Structure 1
Amino acid sequence: MFVQLLAAMGVLAVLTMVPGPDMAVVTKRAIASGWQDGLRTIGGITAGLLIWGVLTVVGLAAVLAASATAYTVVKLAGAVYLGLLGVQALLQSRRSRSANAGVSAPSPSGNPWRTGLISNVFNPKIAVFYTGLLPTLAPSGFSPHMGMVLLVLIHAALTLAWLGSYVLVLAKARAFFEKPSVRRTMDRITGVVLIGFGIKVAASQP
């Protein structure tokens, strides 16, 4: 059982570190308004994972993953939200240019915790991941429900640790990222990446 748990943690760690919408959202928020907002965004993302975990344990996530209509509604909502965040980042890069000309650039709007929560909750791939992959990773020494609960908690903890470390690395390089030219470039990159992830989510299949 212990070996199975270690193997499951390894798989979850690899999947956690693969760049995706969560990392793009965190990058945008941390660079735009500081590491504190970056950490708050991670808190929202982690809460979203726990919500998906609860839905998975009670069986609702499986219904979503199996229903083409429900999956389409959630994925389109998530795609639109990611697209809006991407457009916001691109507009922020233009405002940064205006700020260099003497016009003060406004701070990013919206609650960072809510931003992280919404971006994660409206990612239907999490439902597919939790209902399709997690059951195969659950250690045999636990009941099916307890095994799933344990893996969801591990995944949430790994996400919190990985993205938290990432934000702290960004904070160490704060002086570099606060340079106007770098800030504009990062806003443009994260904007394009977020829009790209939005398109990817919209085109995804259960």
Structure 2
Amino acid sequence: MSIADNLIAFTFAAALLTLTPGLDTALVLRTATVEGKQQALRAALGINAGCLLWGAAVAFGLGALIAVSELAYNGLKYCGAAYLAWLGLNMLLRPRSSLSPAEADARPNANWFLKGMMGNVLNPKVGIFYVSFLPQFVPQGHNLIAWTFGLVSIHVVLGLLWSSTLIGATQQLANVLRRENVITWMDRTTGLVFVLFAARLAFSKR
């Protein structure tokens, strides 16, 4: 794939991931509805700051791993493919029909930037997803660290745009995203994409 193809493919996949209702969407919606737009914006900035921190950890850690060990790289690749396949199959076969009340619950009057950031930093699934997902979009022979930060930045921009949209139209979008058929469709679509990317990662070469 060319550099442009890589960027288009990643942007599409990241956009789909961003639009799929989950913990981050639930937190932004709940905060905007209950505590107002300013607090919701702080939560959104915190969520994306957490993504940047995970991106930094993956960029430097994965770069060192690839540099020293072909075996470790292949092991990581297959573990990442297995994780993506497991995640995708779960979404395909057992899609949600609603957002969990626990996901939407949050303590009022919290530091929303810190809460949003720590929600991502303390979630190892974000790091595992980045490790398994980002490397397949880095063109061969290009700087892994620079490309990882670039790809994470695309994800962050998409996340901020989506959060801003949620905050700006809280009631209307909240009602749509809480519909059973929308959540189920998004889970199944994202699951299919994850399975396809798992296959791509498993058969990719260094």
- Tell me the TM-score normalised to structure 2 length: 0.59
Aligned length: 140
Confirm or deny: 8 A CA contact 2:55 2:130 kept in the other structure.
Answer: yes
Amino acid at match of 2:23: P
Q: How does 1:65-104 map to 2 (within 5 A)?
A: 86=105, 88=107
2:16 paired with 1:50: no
Instruction: Report how far residue 20 of structure 1 moved.
Output: 1.0
Task: Classify 1:84/1:153 alpha carbon distance in 2 versus 1 (closer, same or farther; 3 Å).
Answer: closer
The higher radius of gyration belongs to 1
- Match of 1:11, SS? helix
What percent of counterpart residues are identical? 33
The equivalent of 2:116 in structure 1 is: 116
Instruction: Report how far residue 139 of structure 1 moved.
Output: 3.5
Matches of 2:103 and 2:5 in 1, distance apart? 43
Task: Classify 1:159/1:127 alpha carbon distance in 2 versus 1 (closer, same or farther; 3 Å).
Answer: same
Task: Classify 1:141/1:156 alpha carbon distance in 2 versus 1 (closer, same or farther; 3 Å).
Answer: farther
Matches of 1:165 and 1:83 in 2, distance apart? 23
Matches of 2:164 and 2:46 in 1, distance apart? 12
Confirm or deny: 8 A CA contact 2:47 2:116 kept in the other structure.
Answer: yes
2:33 paired with 1:14: no
Let me know the Cα RMSD of the aligned residues. 3.1
Instruction: Report how far residue 110 of structure 1 moved.
Output: 1.2
Instruction: Report how far residue 142 of structure 1 moved.
Output: 3.0
- Tell me the TM-score normalised to structure 1 length: 0.59
Matches of 2:160 and 2:53 in 1, distance apart? 15
Instruction: Report how far residue 84 of structure 1 moved.
Output: 9.2
- Match of 1:109, SS? coil
The equivalent of 2:34 in structure 1 is: 32
The equivalent of 1:153 in structure 2 is: 153
Instruction: Report how far residue 54 of structure 1 moved.
Output: 0.8
Matches of 1:22 and 1:168 in 2, distance apart? 16
Matches of 2:138 and 2:164 in 1, distance apart? 26
- Match of 1:163, SS? helix
Confirm or deny: 8 A CA contact 2:54 2:126 kept in the other structure.
Answer: yes
Amino acid at match of 2:40: G
Q: How does 1:173-192 map to 2 (within 5 A)?
A: none
Q: Runs in 1 of length 4+ with deviation above 4 angstroms?
A: 82-85
Matches of 1:84 and 1:165 in 2, distance apart? 20
Amino acid at match of 2:54: W
Matches of 1:42 and 1:84 in 2, distance apart? 15
Confirm or deny: 8 A CA contact 1:37 1:112 kept in the other structure.
Answer: yes
Instruction: Report how far residue 140 of structure 1 moved.
Output: 3.9
Q: Which runs of 5+ in 2 are unaligned?
A: 66-75, 77-100, 179-206
